[in-house]
Structure 1
Amino acid sequence: MGRINRWTLMIPRFCAYGFLKNLRFFDVFLILFLRQKGLSFLEIGTLIGIREMTAMILEVPTGIVADLIGRRKAMITAFLSYIISFLFYYAARNFMWFLPAVILFGVGDALRSGTHKAMILEYLDLRGLSDKKVEVYGRTRSWSQIGSALSTVIAAVLVFYKGDYGIVFLASLIPYILDLGLMISYPKELDGKRSRHLSLRAVFDFTLHSFRNCWNVRPLRTALLNSSLDKGVYKVAKDYLQPVLKASSMALLPFMVRLFPGATEQQATAVAIGVVYSILYLANSQASRRAYVVQRWLGGSKRALNWTYFSLLLISSMAFLALRFDLRYLAVLAFLMLAFVENARRPMLVSYLGAFMERKQRATVLSVESQLSALTAMVMGPVMGFFADHFGISGVFIVSILLFTALGIPLRIKEED
């Protein structure tokens, strides 16, 4: 990492992007906010599915547009979509009013996903530091997790004193406006090589070549499917920690009343979420930063990806049993472990995928990965919501256990690849 420290200010700016992007104060209260609005888990899962469907439909086209006309413009549009989405979330009163909020959020995700990673990879290639992908991406992701940890504390304080989950959406406008300004300030060299003229034929040819490249290269195809499965499942399952913490926070209420006479269940929940999610994100920050150490310790990228995949199955089983037998604190630990493993896997997967990608198509290939993840989350949202409504939160992990078990062998990264 010695050479990295002598770079220009781009690495700190990449880190600042991740830090500000993850100041999403609503994240740790989203399920509770929607439940407060009277939505069932199935309705919440349906909204998640619609959000992911929007991202899935637009993912590859927006990745292509980013590669052809410039990645900065794609990122600027993404943050504008997010900002408008937050306003809809804050104003919505029922299921139908949440639809434009989740659709706009999906548009933002589609424009952003894969694009910024491609900008980082482009910068490393321009500086002759392609061998530092895991370290650099791990560093930027660690700052993202630090932003998430700080976001949790601020969100918990806002909910504690305001007594309203909705305030977190208004507060999220500030960091996203700052990130919008940061994207505008990025140098043009990170746009990559662009086509001077955008046409439907160019988009079609570019799409066909990129998909063919993803499908025909077997290691790339397997890695894309492997990555999209765990990312999509985790994206849906992780938020069910919120109702678990709400149920667990009742044990805090007697102590809260002593310190704050008249303290409510919502305030106890805010404290529990603030503490647990802060620990979670700080631990995830170290998982991302030290991903290359874990990869080396497990014997290389292929063995590391296979072992961490297997650990996701074991942790899902642990979470199911803990929730089934009402061992809430053990269930919280399982959620923390799940997040830790997922955040260690991401830098490994991005680096592994990068070995099979052509430079000018990176945003597109990474967008294919995000699109497959969105497809998984689109299906898993309503399915997990249905199971949660009928079997309790433990039902969420019935789904993940079945998936990880059924697809474990087909999605194994082979040593000879």
Structure 2
Amino acid sequence: MSDTPAERVYLDYNATTPVDPQVIEAMLPYLTVHFGNPSSGHPYAERPRRALADARTQVAALIGAHAPQVVFTASGSEANLLAIRGAVLAAGRPRPHVITQATEHPAVLETCHMLRRLHGARVTVLPVDGDGLVRPAALAAVLDEDTVLVSVMAANNETGALQPVAELAALAHARGALLHCDAAQAAGKIPLDVTELGTDLLTVAGHKMYAPKGVGALYVREGVALEPVVYGGGQERGLRAGTENVALAVALGAAAALAARDLATGVPARLAQLRDNLHRLLEAALPDRVHLNGPARERLPNTLNISIDGVGGHDLLAAAPMVAASTGSACHSGTHTPSSVLSAMGLHAARALSALRLSLGRWSTGDDVETAAAALADATLTVSLRSSAS
């Protein structure tokens, strides 16, 4: 969706989603009429307090948790910080060991490096295989008595690769460590159940699931101790002080309820069909030039990461302005260096630089897919001819 939706196709849902109109409708009263502080003792607080509780229940239901286990945050990145820093500092170890993996979001990797720099933590970054997956044996080999936390994402933001979270959690628990899972990309796209996954901490980000930017949530299993991320009052179980942003919490709750509806009504299967058709159309238009990056099966239903021989991803998108997509992670889209995710998977620089991330969402259609495939194929030929002539 854009200023000119009739002319452009939005295929960057993994970067951010449009806010669903039903989410806007749900949150607006808490920016206008129901403005009270939910911690106050007068009637103006009653409706906001109930709305906050309802939103917590809605988010919990999406991930198979209980409402008191949900802590609202200002973003997925903040939720990751609360989980990782909070768990490590609460453990009180003189030199805690933290394990993560090479294709994590920078919010996880940089938090781990911060703990090493400021708190003397020992950090192990696990390698991934050619599909971007952590091998459980690799985790088992580095777990030790000082390991406090393992942080592994549910789904990669660039390739959609789904990590074996439940198996990794079982290994971590066997050595007395906690398992944190950044599920910002997975929540609402695939079914998630914190009990089945075995996660102790799990991150959700609002703007990845049709809520506004500026809101997230952290699932905290009962009994897990965390150092607060913001100090002060007792809001959010004392883990994040500050008067709650009721409107954004309501928005996230409404988005979670809509996501649960989508999961129940087969939306992921529809998106997978659109994704696969986009892939087929591109392969048909550009024979032997299109290469899939990441796993063919164990990935998000909406995500297609491909490289096209002979063209750079940035050059290709510049030649196809009607297609809004990314050349790898949106967080790095301003640079022309190879994606760290694709590099960690062993892709050589030329293939990584030619990568496109095409991610679909709630409003993607078959016409969108056909339009985008034709535009990208035409742009590929244009860029190739330009390159051969220079």
Taking structure 1 as the reference length, the TM-score comes to: 0.28
**Structure possessing the higher relative contact order (Cα contacts under 8 Å, 6 or more residues apart):** 1
Please identify which structure carries the higher helix content.
1
Please identify which structure carries the higher strand content.
2
